[in-house]
Amino acid sequence: MQIADDRVVFIHYTLKNAGGKVIDSSRDQDPLGYIQGHGNIISGLEKALAGKSEGDRLTVTLEPADAYGKRDESLVKAMSREQNFSQVSDLEPGMQFQTRTEEGIRVVTVSSVEGDEVIVDANHPLAGETLTFDVEIAGVREPTQEELSHGHVHGPGGHH
Ligand code: ZN
């Protein structure tokens, strides 16, 4: 069965950055399940998988615009430690927090802490990265009505 819109797809993947460093892999767990055409996975990868079948392997390299977007330096902001992080005693770079912004809830990453000044970055951690996915298609099937109405896969590799 080929990958087409609304079909349930299971993939094993290894994700590397431009330097060849492995960032994420499904290899030591269940394959990732998603529904094609519903924006469950990044758009560039979804596009590359359309029409492929179980057992196919492919390597997809995506520029930032087709992956997690370009970095937006206006999303890097200085905040007061006392006003925003007073309950966090061990604040250090790399920590992530949810914050309310004009665009809704966003995850921000602490870039640096110096005295009362905390620099936070609301870019996706992989924004600006050119990413390479090594993908093996582990299965393709029709969705259940319930999966289609929820917009995600149920069972191993999916939700619930
Ligand atoms: Zn569900």
Sign of the alpha-carbon torsion through 52, 53, 54, 58 = negative
The Cβ of residue 45 has, within 10 Å, a number of other Cβ atoms equal to 20
- Which pLDDT belongs to residue 13? 97
For the whole model, what pTM was predicted? Answer: 0.79
- For ligand 1, the distance from its centroid to the CA atom of residue 6, given in whole angstroms, is 15
- For ligand 1, the distance from its centroid to the CA atom of residue 131, given in whole angstroms, is 29
The pairing of strands 117-121 and 131-141 is unpaired
- Block residue for tokens 């309310």: 100
Q: What is the rounded average pLDDT of the residues 36-45?
A: 93
Structure tokens at 78: 């200085």
Percent of the chain with pLDDT over 90: 82
- For ligand 1, the distance from its centroid to the CA atom of residue 88, given in whole angstroms, is 35
Q: Give 83's contacts (C-beta < 8 A, 6+ positions apart).
A: none
Q: Could you give the C-alpha distances from 117 to 7, 71, 84, 95, in angstroms and in order?
A: 48, 22, 10, 15
- Block residue for tokens 């390597």: 59
Over the chain, what is the mean pLDDT? 93
